[in-house]
Amino acid sequence: MQPFHHPIQRTATPATPESPAYEKESHIGSELATRQARIAADDVVKEYESKRNRLDRGLESAAYLLGHLKNFNTQEWSIRYPHLRTPESDQHASTSARPAMARRTLTFADEPLSETGVVLNETPTARRTVKRSLTLAPSSADAIAGSASDASPLTTETASHEDEDFSILKLDLNMGATRQAKSLISHLEKQSISALLDNRLAASLDHVGLLRKRIWDTQSRVLVSGDVNAGKSTLINALLRRVEVMPTDQQPLTTRFVEVVSAKENNGKEEIHLLRNGVKYKATDPSTFDVQSLDKLEDMVTDMAADADSPPVRVFLKEAATDLANPSILHNGVVDISLIDAPGLNRDSVKTTANFARQEEIDVVVFVVSAANHFTLSAKEFIWQAGHEKAHLFIVVNRFDQIKDKERCRRLVLEQIRQLSPKTYEDAADLVHFVDSAKVALVGDDAGDDLDDMFSHLEHSLRSFVLVNRAKSKLGPAHNYITHLLADIELLASANTLVATREREAARAEVERVKPVLEQMKKGKDGLDEKLVVAEEETVERAASRTKLGMERALERVARGELAAPAPGVALPSYPGLLGVWDYAYDVKRALLASIDFAISLAHDDARQITVGGVDRVIAIADETLPSDVEKSKRVFNPNAMFYARPARPQSRRSSSIHTAGLGLASQSHLVEVSIADIIDIQHHLFIARSQLPQQQAPSSSNELVPFSAEMSGLGALAVGALTLSSKTIGLRHVLDSAAKITELASSRVARRWAGPVIGVVAAGAVAYIIYDLPRSIPRNIGRHLQSTLLISSGPLGSDAEFVPFPDAQSTQVSREVRKVMRMAGADVRDRFRGGYEAKADVVRLSEETEKRASRALAMFADVEKRVEDIREVVGSKL
Ligand SMILES: Nc1nc2c(ncn2[C@@H]2O[C@H](COP(=O)(O)OP(=O)(O)OP(=O)(O)O)[C@@H](O)[C@H]2O)c(=O)[nH]1
């Protein structure tokens, strides 16, 4: 970039002392040239203002954008921090092949092992700016969520090559770029990275504010340096149009830095501020300086005790009245210039002055050289040292009036400049001025329109140069910053757009996958309930009815004097004879009770089997209704745990109830006790007799009260067995028929005579038969008693509780137990169904939220990209 934009005078090749155009370009004695220079300077001012205003608008928009991003990052979406790397395979390939479309490997700081192949597009825009964006590389479009596979950047040394990615928003994550440090990144979570980014955005926001202030800062500092006695002070006086305000002399004079500032900055008061070493000067804080009156200026400037390292002096001076044609050098509407008179260069001061000149705040270095002496060694050294930062110098060749052979002098000086500062030489027409400062200085504010053309040209050039340099020193960094910031934001937006797209797609796929299942489950819910209820009812009903039937049959067998069920180790005892009849009855009773207990346990086994079937049915219902990914049941049905009798409380009266788990009848004393009726059941025989009589009169009535009528008629026969003289069952009717015949017989005299002995024989026969039949009748008696006890009274002894027949009690207990299991199995399925449903509903809800958030992020990042483009258009690609 040219340091000084001069639309009229710009030539393709720099003017040299030898060139014919030189006279014209150097503006010596040309009024036209002076006017042109003035116009050019005005253009520079306008251009400067326009650039500054555009930059300010750009910075303002960037600040809004940063604020927006920052809020979005903390409140809506954790912005991911991308790393771009040139794939290893492309590192050696020709980069110039397709510079606008470069393949990169994209990773994120919180997920460094997951790589995505992308293409970094650099698209030129209408305003000749370049828009950066990322798209998925075609070949890896579907390999977004990569794996920590072979080409991991953390596993190979060569792959650790970092590409250009961020400059302003760079997070200090991989300090030193060592692999160890890099591996630390992987430990950082998304949230931590996002928080780091938040800090970075906040810092950038602050910096943008600072830059905005800086570009509006009108203060500009011009250092006037040069050899001893070159005429620096005289030049400053001339620029201020003040006669001898800065002390001048033929002998070396200025011993310290003196900054000349417009008195307007000190409320119009002319005075001196003597700065203090080591204290930061603040014009508004009197404690940071000492005040001296202006008449002390000469003493201070020429103080022999001071040198270039002494604290500087600030002098507030009023400028001579200026007009529009020759605006004040200190105030020209755009910048406020302060002129710094430096001590003359010598071996001691050259280094300090060069350092001073290199300061960032020094916008322009005016180097004053005496036309008579040209560049001394100190001058050369100064230019060489200061030239590192200030490539362009403003050179004033003073005392030109004293030179006779002006051409030769000019030629020699320019030649020296060419060697010392080539950049300055390139713009010699604007940057090198041959003048007579003393003349202007001596005339002071009377100069007016008669001002020396050369000096006028110098002034305009200096003003323009200050502005151009300000553009570089103040606008340049701001422009540079915003350009890089926009590129960073663009990269962030672009990479996060990829992430958001990926998340949105994944969320959509998830919703599409889960929502139909959820709907299906919703529809199937009532059906499931119904099926479970039916399964439970049917299972319970089946188990209960089978138990009841089983128990009834068991009791029927017992009533026949048989074991209720073939219990292992339980058998009816063998008859020990008449003397042991009591013990026999006792043992029979115990055996029958034990067999009932066993029958109960068989019924329980049966109920277990039925329950297993029921539970299987519930499992089948679950399998057909619940989606396959619903959590499997953690419950395992253990049929053996059914009918588990909890240890009864010893004092509990219910413990003696035959309700109690249906077990232990054989150990219940009231049941085991043997009564005489168990041995000879006279009552039963009479009952049979009574029940048979009406049957004789009403043969159609049933014998419901006594089940198993065939057996009962047998029992009846036993009672009157003696009458029939036969052990064969003949039926009660026949017995009574026989009795009638006997009665008829007895009515006759013959019969009466025979009756006594016959009855005696019959009675003896009956007794003999009863005794003979005891081994068979005792089990039947006992069984019958047990049956009737259990059928009629199965309630707890001595309690007023309900009396439930034993089979019903057993069936109730079984149904209760089966229902418990079935309820549990059903509840388990319902729980799993509910859990699965809720989990699916959660997945759908979260996925929908993710989708919405990703959509919002996509809209946001699209907006960010658009705004970046807009800002870029405002500030331009170049300053
Ligand atoms: N004829 C003529 N004399 C000049 C010109 N510029 C400066 N002088 C004289 O040169 C002498 C030195 O000028 P100063 O302005 O004091 O020089 P300086 O560079 O400030 O000197 P130090 O502060 O000592 O470094 C003074 O007597 C000036 O009048 C000029 O352009 N033409």
Candidate from 223, 224, 232, 234 with most ligand 1 atoms within 8 A of CB, to mutate: 234
Taking the CB of residue 733, how many other CB atoms lie within 10 A of it? 14
pLDDT at 28: 41
CA angle 512–517–521, rounded 5-degree value: 150
Residue 555 · residue 564 · CB < 8 Å = yes
> Does any ligand 1 atom lie closer than 6 A to the CB of residue 455?
no
pLDDT at 115: 77
Percentage of the chain modeled with pLDDT above 70: 74
Residue nearest to atom 23 of ligand 1 (CA): 254
How far apart CA 718 and CA 837 sit, in angstroms, is 72
Pairing of strands 101-108, 82-85: antiparallel
Pairing of strands 313-317, 111-124: unpaired
Tokens of residue 325, six digits: 């044609």
Pairing of strands 313-317, 394-398: unpaired
Burial class (CB in 10 A: 0-12, 13-18, 19+), 873: middle
pLDDT band at residue 139, thresholds of 50, 70 and 90?
A: low
Task: Look at residues 552, 598, 590 and name the one whose alpha carbon lies nearest to residue 805.
Answer: 552
Tokens of residue 734, six digits: 């026949």
CA angle 841–847–848, rounded 5-degree value: 90
How far apart CA 320 and CA 318 sit, in angstroms, is 7
> Does any ligand 1 atom lie closer than 6 A to the CB of residue 528?
no
Query: 422 phi and psi, to 5 degrees?
Result: -55, -35
Question: Is pLDDT larger for residue 415 or for residue 650?
Answer: 415
Query: Please, where in the chain does CATH 3.40.50.300 lie?
Result: 218-451
How far apart CA 565 and CA 661 sit, in angstroms, is 18
* Ligand 1 atom showing the smallest separation from residue 237 Cα: 15
> Does any ligand 1 atom lie closer than 6 A to the CB of residue 527?
no
Q: From ligand 1's centre to the CA of 438, what distance in Å?
A: 7
pLDDT at 437: 87
Tokens of residue 24, six digits: 């014209």
Strands (E), 407-515: 432-434
Query: Is 19 a residue whose pLDDT tops 80?
Result: no
> Does any ligand 1 atom lie closer than 6 A to the CB of residue 54?
no
pLDDT tens-digit profile of 77-101?
A: 888 888 877 776 655 554 444 444 6
pLDDT at 398: 92
Residue nearest to atom 29 of ligand 1 (CA): 438
Q: From ligand 1's centre to the CA of 227, what distance in Å?
A: 10
How far apart CA 466 and CA 553 sit, in angstroms, is 122
> Does any ligand 1 atom lie closer than 6 A to the CB of residue 254?
yes
* Ligand 1 atom showing the smallest separation from residue 402 Cα: 1
> Does any ligand 1 atom lie closer than 6 A to the CB of residue 255?
no
How far apart CA 647 and CA 856 sit, in angstroms, is 65
> Does any ligand 1 atom lie closer than 6 A to the CB of residue 401?
yes
pLDDT at 157: 33
Candidate from 239, 243, 246, 249 with most ligand 1 atoms within 8 A of CB, to mutate: 249
Least confident of 170-179, 206-215, 552-561, 701-710: 701-710
Least confident of 171-185, 359-373, 381-395, 420-434: 171-185
Cα distances from 289 to residues 54, 235, 306, 531, in angstroms, run: 38, 27, 16, 96
Cα distances from 336 to residues 331, 332, 417, 653, 861, in angstroms, run: 5, 7, 29, 112, 42
Residue nearest to atom 32 of ligand 1 (CA): 399
Question: Is pLDDT larger for residue 66 or for residue 374?
Answer: 66
Question: Is pLDDT larger for residue 146 or for residue 347?
Answer: 347
Tokens of residue 744, six digits: 């008829």
Strands (E), 253-330: 258-262, 271-275, 289-292, 313-317
Question: Is pLDDT larger for residue 720 or for residue 369?
Answer: 369
> Does any ligand 1 atom lie closer than 6 A to the CB of residue 307?
no
- DSSP structure string for 652-715: -GGGGSTTGGG--GGG-HHHH---HHHH--HHHHHHHHHHHHHHHH-TTS--TTSS-HHHHHHH
Q: From ligand 1's centre to the CA of 234, what distance in Å?
A: 5
How far apart CA 668 and CA 663 sit, in angstroms, is 10
Tokens of residue 611, six digits: 């329950």
DSSP 8-class letter at 237: H
> Does any ligand 1 atom lie closer than 6 A to the CB of residue 617?
no
Residue 794 · residue 551 · CB < 8 Å = no
Cα distances from 760 to residues 465, 682, 727, 736, 764, in angstroms, run: 163, 19, 18, 18, 6
Helices 190-216 and 476-559 meet at what angle, rounded to 10? Answer: 160
> Does any ligand 1 atom lie closer than 6 A to the CB of residue 234?
yes
Least confident of 198-202, 326-330, 794-798, 854-858: 794-798
Q: From ligand 1's centre to the CA of 244, what distance in Å?
A: 11
Query: Is 618 a residue whose pLDDT tops 70?
Result: yes
Residue nearest to atom 16 of ligand 1 (CA): 248
Query: Is 726 a residue whose pLDDT tops 70?
Result: no
> Does any ligand 1 atom lie closer than 6 A to the CB of residue 232?
yes
How far apart CA 227 and CA 397 sit, in angstroms, is 11
Q: From ligand 1's centre to the CA of 436, what distance in Å?
A: 10
Burial class (CB in 10 A: 0-12, 13-18, 19+), 320: middle
Task: Look at residues 503, 501, 510 and name the one whose alpha carbon lies nearest to residue 858.
Answer: 501
Task: Look at residues 2, 66, 69 and name the one whose alpha carbon lies nearest to residue 40.
Answer: 2
Q: From ligand 1's centre to the CA of 435, what distance in Å?
A: 12
How far apart CA 830 and CA 660 sit, in angstroms, is 32
> Does any ligand 1 atom lie closer than 6 A to the CB of residue 237?
no
Q: From ligand 1's centre to the CA of 92, what distance in Å?
A: 63
> Does any ligand 1 atom lie closer than 6 A to the CB of residue 107?
no
Q: 868 Cβ partners below 8 Å, 6+ apart? A: 65, 131, 486, 489, 490, 493
Residue 503 · residue 825 · CB < 8 Å = no
Candidate from 223, 228, 248 with most ligand 1 atoms within 8 A of CB, to mutate: 248
How far apart CA 580 and CA 513 sit, in angstroms, is 82
> Does any ligand 1 atom lie closer than 6 A to the CB of residue 433?
no
User: To the nearest 10°, the Cα dihedral for 231, 236, 238, 244?
Assistant: -80
- DSSP structure string for 81-107: -EEEE--HHHHSS-TTSSTTEEEEEEE
Strands (E), 180-245: 219-226
Query: Is 154 a residue whose pLDDT tops 60?
Result: no
> Does any ligand 1 atom lie closer than 6 A to the CB of residue 112?
no
> Does any ligand 1 atom lie closer than 6 A to the CB of residue 399?
yes
Q: From ligand 1's centre to the CA of 450, what distance in Å?
A: 22
ipTM tops 0.85: yes
Q: 201 Cβ partners below 8 Å, 6+ apart? A: 66, 69, 70, 73, 169
Q: From ligand 1's centre to the CA of 232, what distance in Å?
A: 7
pLDDT at 459: 86
Tell me the average pLDDT across 224-245: 87
Distance between start and end Cα atoms, the chain: 10
Q: From ligand 1's centre to the CA of 437, what distance in Å?
A: 8
Residue nearest to atom 2 of ligand 1 (CA): 399
pLDDT at 819: 94
CATH of 218-451, one of 1.10.10.10, 3.90.199.10, 3.40.50.300, 3.30.70.3460: 3.40.50.300
Q: How many CA atoms are closer than 13 Å to the CA of 376, on its beta-carbon side?
A: 19
Question: Is pLDDT larger for residue 568 or for residue 62?
Answer: 62
Tokens of residue 320, six digits: 């001579």
* Ligand 1 atom showing the smallest separation from residue 248 Cα: 16
Query: Is 122 a residue whose pLDDT tops 60?
Result: yes
> Does any ligand 1 atom lie closer than 6 A to the CB of residue 256?
no
pLDDT band at residue 339, thresholds of 50, 70 and 90?
A: very high
Task: Look at residues 470, 465, 466, 461 and name the one whose alpha carbon lies nearest to residue 435.
Answer: 461
* Ligand 1 atom showing the smallest separation from residue 247 Cα: 16
pLDDT band at residue 24, thresholds of 50, 70 and 90?
A: very low
Residue 266 · residue 292 · CB < 8 Å = no
pLDDT tens-digit profile of 488-507?
A: 999 899 989 999 999 999 99
pLDDT tens-digit profile of 662-695?
A: 447 777 777 777 777 777 777 766 676 666 555 4
pLDDT at 503: 92
Candidate from 229, 243, 378 with most ligand 1 atoms within 8 A of CB, to mutate: 229
Q: From ligand 1's centre to the CA of 231, what distance in Å?
A: 3
Tokens of residue 171, six digits: 């997070």
> Does any ligand 1 atom lie closer than 6 A to the CB of residue 402?
yes
- DSSP structure string for 755-791: HHHHHHHHHHHHHHHHHHHHHHHHHHHHHHHHHHHHH
Least confident of 7-21, 91-105, 166-180: 7-21
Distance of CA 828 to the CA centre of its chain: 34
> Does any ligand 1 atom lie closer than 6 A to the CB of residue 370?
no
Residue nearest to atom 4 of ligand 1 (CA): 438
* Ligand 1 atom showing the smallest separation from residue 226 Cα: 19
Helix (H) or strand (E) holding 469: helix 453-470
pLDDT tens-digit profile of 205-225?
A: 999 999 998 888 888 889 999
Residue nearest to atom 7 of ligand 1 (CA): 231
pLDDT at 305: 78
pLDDT band at residue 798, thresholds of 50, 70 and 90?
A: very low
Residue nearest to atom 13 of ligand 1 (CA): 231
Q: From ligand 1's centre to the CA of 237, what distance in Å?
A: 10
Average pLDDT over the chain reads 77
How far apart CA 760 and CA 758 sit, in angstroms, is 5
Amino acid at the residue 432: V
Buried b (16+ CB within 10 A) or exposed e, 695-718: beeeeeeeeeebebeebbbebbbb
How far apart CA 764 and CA 861 sit, in angstroms, is 119
Q: Which residues are 226's β-sheet partners?
A: 368
Task: Look at residues 531, 713, 533 and name the one whose alpha carbon lies nearest to residue 621.
Answer: 531
* Ligand 1 atom showing the smallest separation from residue 301 Cα: 23
- DSSP structure string for 412-443: HHHHHHHHH-HHHHHTHHHHEEE--HHHHHHH
Rg from Cα positions in the chain: 60
Q: From ligand 1's centre to the CA of 230, what distance in Å?
A: 6
Tell me the average pLDDT across 404-420: 92
